[in-house]
């Protein structure tokens, strides 16, 4: 609505409505003059303005549209980043086809929505980032390696925000749920960088974010006088609700209840006084809020959803867990630090707990998708008009490998994204994926980071990896004087009591074990090429009547 214009100034149409609202007694059905109102209408009170969700009275064209109900330019992007990598055997999908597959143990919380996600396998970050937390974090959203301690490359979310963010009150949300801050290299603490290469400030307190978005937190007088946003918007609410249809009224009531639910959740976060947790935190300098990390992540997800629904912003990123997270997940019964658990090769017997923490993160991703689907937009839902990327910049958590990143894509993308699939690639570039998402979000650009092309298989069906074909040459080539040369298919096996086993499979159905030291495997970056056919030279010994490779000397990937 133009500045100074009231609802009564808008052009009208004849419609039948109910006139009851949450703040008055129900009234009978009447015929009345209704006014179309602009998409940018706000509920206003003293020191506060809240954007409204999509309503029928905003425009017939908007309310009747299916799919991208809020218009071609109203798609939203959310990136959910989970540091510390995964256990490959617990993450990877075994067998199946593009459309027929079984989710892995870690992905199990998504079972009920298999048709609403696309699992991406075989996408690599810049392989020069292999082995380091810093490079893995930076490359995840910039597609580039570290440039300096002070300046990096722009992240893809900010390219999108530069394109579409000027039309919303907040250009983008940059959030974190993990309170840990790395003091040795600040590059690990950021995902989003602007066009100058500067990191964007990260909001870590959901109460502050809520106040900034919905309460006008900079106004100290308002903070003292106002206990709830809802108390300040009743008069403005009446002006809109009196014009609303039955369906609009339901949407408004759900919207207002959602705002109150977030307030209650943040109040619980603020008021928690658990003494056991407080005592633990007192002894750990970094953990000022770690005891409530679960509630913090959930509150941030709620805030992103409601900010998207009200069109307050269309771009958001959330670092659910830092790449070197010291978070303790005692709220699910796990009292070890996440980063400690991630080093499951060197810290034995921690795999069950590590897998459970990763499973919890997937469950929060699932919760967020549920939240998006609960908000209506015209004849569709907010989910239909979102693009959501969940993943980590590291695959094998102990080797810090950046090949075959754990990635899941969801959201309808305005009808553009093909869901319900497991799409496999042959070492595709993560920058290609980022470029494709930028294009879906309306950015007219043909290159980003180290991209070579927009990633295929997102807006169209198809699998882009051909399984290795056994040509009959997978075998031991030579074995003499403690040195062996083999050719075959490299695989990994991770078990709680045997977490560092690699296997090379031969044409006759047998295999040979690689039981090398952590330093040897890490130095040779063997984990990067799991699933590939290799010719490997190594040292071996006989153990219980079979040959076992104890050191990798060199290998060639075919």
Q: Tell me the C-alpha distance between 167 and 524, whole Å.
A: 49
What integer pLDDT is reported at residue 31 of this predicted model? Answer: 40
Q: What is the pLDDT of residue 345?
A: 92
Is the pLDDT at 27 greater than 60? The verdict is no
Residue 364 has pLDDT above 90, yes or no: yes
pLDDT at 81: 97
CA dihedral 289, 345, 465, 549 (to 10 degrees): 170
**Among 494, 513, 549, CA closest to 87:** 494
Domain 76-204+290-440 has CATH 3.30.420.40: no
CA-to-CA dists, residue 70 to 75, 113, 378, 384, 541, angstroms: 8, 24, 8, 10, 66
Residues whose CB is less than 8 angstroms from the CB of residue 276 and which lie 6 or more positions away in sequence, other chains included:
none
Assign 432 to helix, strand or coil. helix
**What is the SS3 assignment for 176?**
strand
Strand partners, 546: 543
Instruction: Give the tokens for residue 339.
Output: 């980063």
End-to-end Cα, the chain, rounded Å: 62
Counted residue by residue, the chain has a size of 558
Q: Annotate 55-111 with DSSP letters as a single string.
A: -GGG-HHHHH--SSTT-TT--EEEEEEE-S-B-HHHHSPPS--SSS----TTTGGGG
Token pair 């309460």 is at which residue? 215
Q: What angle do CA 5, 11, 13 make, to 5 degrees?
A: 140
Mean pLDDT of 389-413: 94
State the average pLDDT for the chain. 81
3-state secondary structure of 288: coil
Residue 302 vs residue 149, higher pLDDT: 302
Q: What per-residue confidence (pLDDT) applies to 168?
A: 83
What pLDDT sits at residue 217?
Answer: 37
The mean pLDDT of 89-107, rounded to a whole number, is 95
Return the pLDDT at 267. 55
Is the alpha carbon torsion for 515, 516, 517, 520 positive or negative?
negative
The strand pair at 498-505 and 511-514 is best described as antiparallel
- 399 or 54, higher pLDDT: 399
Q: Which residue has the higher pLDDT, 293 or 19?
A: 293
- Taking the whole predicted model, whether its pTM rises above 0.75 is answered as yes
386 CB-near residues (< 8 Å, 6+ apart): 75, 76, 77, 78, 308, 372, 411, 412, 413
pLDDT given at position 32:
37
Return the structure tokens found at 307.
């900010």
Q: Do β-strands 511-514 and 546-557 pair in parallel, antiparallel, or remain unpaired?
A: parallel
User: What confidence category does residue 63 fall into, taking pLDDT thresholds of 50, 70 and 90?
Assistant: very low
Mean pLDDT on 165-188:
87
Query: Which pLDDT belongs to residue 211?
Result: 75
Ordered alpha helix ranges (H), 189-346: 206-214, 220-225, 229-232, 234-241, 246-271, 275-282, 293-309, 338-342
* CA-based nearest residue to 397, from 361, 365, 430, 351: 351
User: Which residue did the predictor score with more confidence, 185 or 407?
Assistant: 407
Rounded distance between C-alpha atoms, residue 45 and residue 274, angstroms: 36
Across the strands, what pairs with 396? 86
Sequence-distant (≥ 6) Cβ neighbours of residue 68 within 8 angstroms = 74, 75, 380, 384, 385, 414, 415
Give me the pLDDT at residue 72, please: 44
Q: Which of 19-28, 254-263, 441-450, 499-508 comes out lowest in average pLDDT? A: 19-28
CATH number of the domain located at residue range(s) 475-557 in this protein: 2.40.50.140
Taking the domains of the chain in order of start, what are their residue ranges? 1-66+226-288, 76-204+290-440, 475-557
Q: What is the spatial distance between Cα 45 and Cα 57, in angstroms, rounded to a whole number?
A: 21
**Cβ atoms of residues 394 and 83 within 8 Å:** yes
The per-residue pLDDT for 509 is: 96
């Amino acid at each position: 609505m133009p500045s100074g214009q009231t609802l009564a100034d808008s052009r009208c149409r004849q419609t039948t409505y109910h006139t009851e609202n949450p703040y008055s007694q129900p009234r009978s059905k009447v015929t009345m003059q209704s006014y179309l109102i602009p998409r940018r209408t706000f509920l206003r009170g003293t020191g506060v303005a809240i954007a409204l969700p999509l309503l029928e009275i905003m425009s017939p064209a908007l309310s009747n549209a299916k799919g991208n109900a809020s218009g071609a330019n109203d798609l939203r992007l959310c990136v959910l980043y989970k540091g510390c990598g995964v256990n490959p055997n617990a993450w990877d999908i075994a067998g199946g086809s593009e459309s027929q597959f079984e989710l892995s143990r870690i992905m199990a919380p998504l079972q009920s929505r298999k048709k609403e996600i696309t699992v991406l396998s075989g996408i690599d970050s810049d392989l020069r980032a292999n082995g380091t937390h810093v490079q893995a974090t930076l490359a995840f959203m910039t597609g580039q390696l570290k440039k300096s301690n002070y300046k990096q490359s722009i992240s893809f979310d900010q390219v999108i925000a530069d394109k579409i963010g000027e039309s919303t009150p907040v250009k983008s949300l940059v959030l974190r749920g993990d309170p840990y801050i790395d003091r040795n290299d600040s590059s690990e603490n950021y995902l989003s960088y602007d066009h100058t290469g500067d990191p964007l400030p990260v909001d870590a307190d959901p109460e502050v974010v809520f106040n900034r978005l919905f309460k006008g937190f900079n106004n100290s007088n308002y903070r003292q006088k106002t206990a709830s946003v809802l108390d300040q918007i009743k008069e403005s609410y009446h002006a809109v609700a009196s014009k609303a249809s039955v369906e609009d009224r339901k949407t408004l009531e759900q919207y207002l209840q959602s705002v109150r639910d977030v307030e209650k959740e943040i109040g619980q976060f603020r008021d928690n006084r658990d003494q056991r947790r407080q005592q633990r935190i007192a002894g750990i300098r970094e953990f000022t809020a770690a005891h409530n990390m679960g509630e913090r992540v959930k509150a941030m997800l709620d805030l992103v959803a409601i900010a998207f629904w009200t069109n307050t912003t269309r771009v958001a990123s959330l670092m659910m867990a830092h790449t070197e997270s010291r978070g303790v997940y005692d709220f699910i019964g796990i009292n070890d630090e996440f980063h400690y658990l991630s080093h499951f090769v060197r810290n034995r017997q921690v795999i069950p707990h590590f897998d459970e923490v990763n499973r919890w993160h997937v469950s929060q991703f699932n919760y967020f998708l549920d939240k998006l689907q609960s908000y209506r937009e015209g004849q569709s839902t907010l989910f239909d008009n979102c693009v959501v990327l969940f993943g980590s910049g590291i695959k094998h958590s102990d080797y810090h490998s950046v090949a075959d990143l754990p990635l899941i894509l969801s959201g309808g993308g305005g009808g553009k994204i093909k869901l319900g699939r497991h799409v496999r690639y042959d070492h595709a570039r993560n920058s290609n994926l980022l470029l494709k998402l930028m294009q879906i979000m309306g950015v007219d650009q043909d290159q980003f980071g180290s991209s070579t092309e927009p990633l295929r298989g997102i807006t169209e069906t198809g699998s882009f990896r051909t399984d290795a074909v056994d040509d009959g040459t997978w075998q031991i080539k030579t074995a003499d004087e403690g040195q062996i040369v083999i050719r075959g298919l490299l695989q990994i096996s991770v078990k709680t009591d045997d977490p560092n086993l690699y296997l090379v499979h031969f044409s006759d159905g047998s295999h040979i074990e690689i039981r090398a030291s952590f330093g040897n495997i890490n130095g040779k970056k063997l984990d990067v090429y799991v699933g590939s056919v290799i010719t490997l030279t190594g040292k071996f010994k006989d153990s219980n009547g079979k040959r076992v490779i104890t050191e990798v000397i060199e290998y060639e990937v075919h």
